[in-house]
Structure 1
């Protein structure tokens, strides 16, 4: 008869090996990116596998990344765009989610069905109508063109609504008895209660829009308005083609803020995703 403790230990070892193998597969492109950012040009395409460079070119590559193109400006543009989108999404998503979770009104089921339907439509399908709309509004090649199309987030409304479904109705009734309006209730009661879900949504939103290449490429022509992914296009040498060392160094710098942001909010992110599980 098998020892239950032995079987349990074997399963834990197997599970951790599988998880570590999966983590290695996902981390490999980032490790390779970091390795390439440290190598001189003649080593990048050299035959054989060399994780560490034989001749270090880190200072040269990272200096070029910061001086060959205005990378810091692109980072600032990315922060402005992501922060603007996130703030406006929260302003729209929180009241909408509260209405869907705690209020009864005519057309609620239809409106909720439209929100859910919006999650099934890829952004690329609506890109051309949005482009034409911004063209007629005279907003192409502006920061507003990068922000306005993303103000309403169906995913944000869905995530917040799922969290609000778990907030006790007695808490809301007590707040109303204390004289709070629905507007005050959303921002003074529901928002603090939903902070884990809000942080989880913030990570999703920031990562998505920080890495977005398609939409900025479509609506931005001025280099000074470029976001970080769009800015990586400019690491080119007319004679030698793409300068991969500085390109990878710039990509490391662009990725670093997202990594720090996620690590700082990791605990709340896991709580938010867990507590926002599907409720009735």
Structure 2
């Protein structure tokens, strides 16, 4: 089998585009880290230096951790994101298996509805979800932050595509061994789709860890605020216009996501590409 190799000019152009795109994506993060170690007077200077003449990182990070309950905000984020991911897998995996492997009437229509939900902005449903949360009496609780995201159209779509790559013979053999459909999902399909689950988990955690819109509506108690909403409260109530501690708090909040992605990037890529080839 021949392997197509890029010509040197094409390879150089490709790498230049990738490096430029990567630099543009990283600039806001570099700027954020730089501001988090600068004193207030050096933040609004016209010239930019990553490393300040006067290092103020210890003071900014100490204030970020002590002047607002940032550890509580991050703990709330961990609790909410973990509950959402677990419930999404519990709901999406059986639904995706049904769409991928079962002969159901109207299966194509159901999958089309999943695709429609996939492109529908979640903000469109915010008002009905808020009213439903009020009727259920779950507003200003962890349940209010978790309930709207239990069913994930993207999760159903991703798992379905991955499940379709698993040979039907494996499913038939499991049925001959006496396994129920749910047992096939949890004992065979889900373990084989672990890369897709890890990739989906990263997407889900990043999305809900950074979500500001819905928590701003659903909770008012500061002890329930996730990181983005907590940082907003920190800025308004504690830091005022002192952006050094605010940028330090933002850096602390973003750091776990970067570490998690770097740790799981191999499974992330495998999970996204595994369902592309059947």
Superposition TM-score, scaled by structure 2 size: 0.95
- Cα shift readout 1:26-79 (whole Å, capped 9, x = no counterpart): 000000000000000010012222221110100000000000101111111000
Distance in 2 (CA, whole Å) between partners of 1:238 and 1:210 is 22
Quote the offset at 1:206 in angstroms. Answer: 0.5
Secondary structure of 2:119's counterpart equals coil
SS at match of 2:7: helix
Q: Is the 8 A contact 2:68 2:238 kept in 1?
A: no
Distance 1:239-1:248 versus aligned 2 partners, 3 A rule: closer
**Separation in 2, partners of 1:274, 1:33:** 32
**CA RMSD between the two structures:** 1.6
Partner of 1:154: 153
Task: Give the Cα–Cα distance (whole angstroms) in 1 for the partners of residues 114 and 48 of structure 2.
Answer: 49
Deviation at 1:11, TM superposition (A): 2.2
CA contact (8 A) 2:35 2:244 kept: yes
CA displacement at 1:239 relative to structure 2 = 9.9
Asked whether the equivalents of residues 67 and 238 of structure 2 are also in contact (C-alpha less than 8 Å), the reply is: no
Aligned residue number for residue 113 of structure 1: 112
Q: TM-score, normalised by structure 1?
A: 0.94
TM-fit CA distance, 1:13: 2.1
Matches within 5 A, 1:13-28: 13-28=12-27
Correspondence 1:86-101 to 2 at 5 A: 86-101=85-100
For structure 1, list consecutive stretches of 5 or more residues without a partner in the other structure.
none
1:246-278 C-alpha deviation (Å, 9 max, x unpaired): 010000000011011101110000011111227
Q: Number of aligned residue pairs: give it.
A: 274
Residue equivalent to 2:224: 225
**Cα distance, 1:237–1:56 mapped onto 2, change above 3 Å:** farther
Q: Residues 84-130 of structure 1, C-alpha deviation per residue, up to 9 Å, x if partnerless?
A: 00000000000000000000122222222211111121111110010
> Matches of 1:29 and 1:215 in 2, distance apart?
24
Residues 35-46 of structure 1: pairs in structure 2 closer than 5 A? 35-46=34-45
Partner of 1:205: 204
Output aligned runs, 1:16-95, within 5 Å.
16-95=15-94
Where do 5+ consecutive residues of structure 2 fail to align?
Answer: none
